[in-house]
Structure 1
Amino acid sequence: MTMAEAQLGGLQDEFTCLVCLYTLNDPVTIPCGHNFCLKCLTDCWDQSQECSCPQCRHTFTTRPELNRNTQLNEVIKRYKRPRLSPPLSQNYAGPGDVECDFCTGKKFRAVKSCLTCMASYCQTHLQPHYEVAALKHHKLVDPDRNLKEKFCGKYQKSLEMFCRTDKTFICLMCAVNEHNSHEKSALETEREGKKKQLVETQSEIRKRLEDKEKKLKKTRSTVEEMKVGGIKMTLHIKERGEKVKE
């Protein structure tokens, strides 16, 4: 290790994004002087009603334009240190975890599944999806152990559509070749429709249960009234019988 590398190595905290706690990726410098990953800061501000520095909490009246700090990015590229990660023992896949498809030997726990690659990745093997331009557009989801069920065996493509005519999931090639004239919808559209339908069904079932509960209460009340009425009638007849004897 050169003296320059040793000196820069001691500045690891300066190269760490305080949002994700990893080495800066596409670093941007905001007016208060602090650095963050472009994606981390963008996501942070998109989810907040105000734009403030996650480190010093300085608030900006107008959202600053985020431009990559080219010089800092080159320094990080040249002297990049491993990203911070939990102890290895915590990364090993355990019962119920989805395993990384690219680990050899003992498998690490997957942190994401890619619907484009149809594979699951641990934190280390996932990095290219954040750093390689050709992979950045891939669709990442939470670890999914049922990826094969979302994969078209005929065309080796991910199932991205639903054929309403045949009531089956299809890929884009299926949509063009076998289901061209059929009624189709995007999976997200179909999922939202099913979710809405489920909510309506649950609401209807809840209403039916409430109606049945009301009827049951009314029936119980009627039975109680009949019991009371029967007791009163019995007492009345008994009283009349005693008066006749007298």
Structure 2
Amino acid sequence: MAEAQLFVSQDEFSCTVCLDTLTDPVSLHCGHSFCLKCLTNYWDQSQVCSCPQCRHTFMLRPELKRNTLLNEVIKKLTKTTISPPPAPPSQNYAGLGDVQCDACTGKKFRAVKSCLTCMASYCQTHLQPHLEGDALKHHKLIDPDGNMKEKFCEKHHKSLEMFCKTDDLCICMMCVVTGHKNHEMVELEMEREEKQKQLEVTLSDIKRRLEEREKTLKETRRVMEEMKVSGIGRQ
């Protein structure tokens, strides 16, 4: 019996870390697969053990075992009709002052977006799962931000979403239930807007005072000039 022909995209069997066809594929509990070497190197260079694609964090580093079925499928397809992987979209390497892509290994591309849910920045290629996958479409994307660590709770590895007025501190949702019970809290965005309004009022007040001081200084100079002219006239 002739084998059934499979029509698949090369992207379905590509590692999102190296962007090449999977080699010695391993699969995580979140459902994403990577090259064994790529994932091992990625975790060796990271402080937390998480999925490079969806950022799901593991408390303990999982033991990586090759996905035998996926490996056989890839071998069979590479012997038949799979074409060479398409060239990645045109993009630039990160330079001085640019935000780097957290998912790139080796020389990193410039990030085009940062994700407040994943607490990471992505180049155009590694951003695609957020634009195409249903699981990541609800994540909040912002312009590239090089200070993502400042928006990240080091204790719980969660994004900072609340502001504790009692302790004057930005906290995550885990902090809310573990250490700030009965404290006065507001959403971080609301606190940011309030601080911005207060800053605008303060700047407006400073500007008003400077204008008044400048006006007083001009008047003082005018009086001194008049006194000087009057003194010369008397001589």
Same fold (TM over 0.5): yes
Deviation, structure 1 residue 84: 8.6
In structure 1, the residue matched to 2:30 is none
Query: What letter is aligned with 1:215?
Result: T
Query: What letter is aligned with 1:193?
Result: E
Higher share in helix:
1
Secondary structure at 1:181's aligned position in 2? coil
Query: What letter is aligned with 1:98?
Result: V
C-alpha separation in 1, matches of 2:88 and 2:96: 25
In structure 2, the residue matched to 1:164 is 165
Secondary structure at 2:135's aligned position in 1? helix
Q: How does 1:175-186 map to 2 (within 5 A)?
A: 175-186=176-187
In structure 1, the residue matched to 2:125 is 124
Secondary structure at 2:104's aligned position in 1? coil
**Mapped contact 2:88–2:125 kept (Cα < 8 A):** no
C-alpha separation in 1, matches of 2:234 and 2:183: 72
C-alpha separation in 1, matches of 2:215 and 2:148: 46
Query: What letter is aligned with 1:202?
Result: L
Secondary structure at 1:135's aligned position in 2? coil
Which structure has the higher relative contact order (CA within 8 Å, separation 6+)?
2
TM-score normalised by the chain length of structure 1: 0.58
Secondary structure at 1:133's aligned position in 2? coil
Deviation, structure 1 residue 85: 3.5
Query: What letter is aligned with 2:95?
Result: G
Deviation, structure 1 residue 151: 0.9
Any idea what the Cα deviations from partners look like across 1:156-209, whole Å, max 9, x if unmatched? 110011111111110011112211211111111111111111111111111101
Q: List structure 1 segments (4+ residues) > 6 angstroms apart after TM superposition.
A: 81-84
Consecutive unaligned residues of structure 2, counting only runs of 5 or more, are 1-84
In structure 2, the residue matched to 1:67 is none
C-alpha separation in 1, matches of 2:97 and 2:218: 46
C-alpha separation in 2, matches of 1:212 and 1:82: 66
How many pairs does the alignment contain? 151
Q: How does 1:121-160 map to 2 (within 5 A)?
A: 121-160=122-161
TM-score normalised by the chain length of structure 2: 0.60
Shift of the 172–218 alpha-carbon distance from structure 1 to 2, 3 Å rule, reads same
C-alpha separation in 2, matches of 1:206 and 1:83: 54
In structure 1, the residue matched to 2:231 is 230
Secondary structure at 1:134's aligned position in 2? coil
C-alpha separation in 1, matches of 2:234 and 2:98: 70
C-alpha separation in 2, matches of 1:213 and 1:157: 49
- Highest Rg: 1 or 2? 1
C-alpha separation in 2, matches of 1:99 and 1:92: 8
C-alpha separation in 2, matches of 1:125 and 1:152: 24
Query: What letter is aligned with 1:179?
Result: H
Deviation, structure 1 residue 83: 9.5
Query: What letter is aligned with 2:209?
Result: R
C-alpha separation in 1, matches of 2:118 and 2:227: 71
Secondary structure at 1:169's aligned position in 2? strand
Query: What letter is aligned with 1:156?
Result: H
RMSD: 1.8
Question: What's the % identity of the aligned pairs?
Answer: 67
In structure 2, the residue matched to 1:70 is none
C-alpha separation in 1, matches of 2:163 and 2:106: 38
1:174 and 2:170 matched:
no
Shift of the 136–182 alpha-carbon distance from structure 1 to 2, 3 Å rule, reads same
In structure 1, the residue matched to 2:29 is none
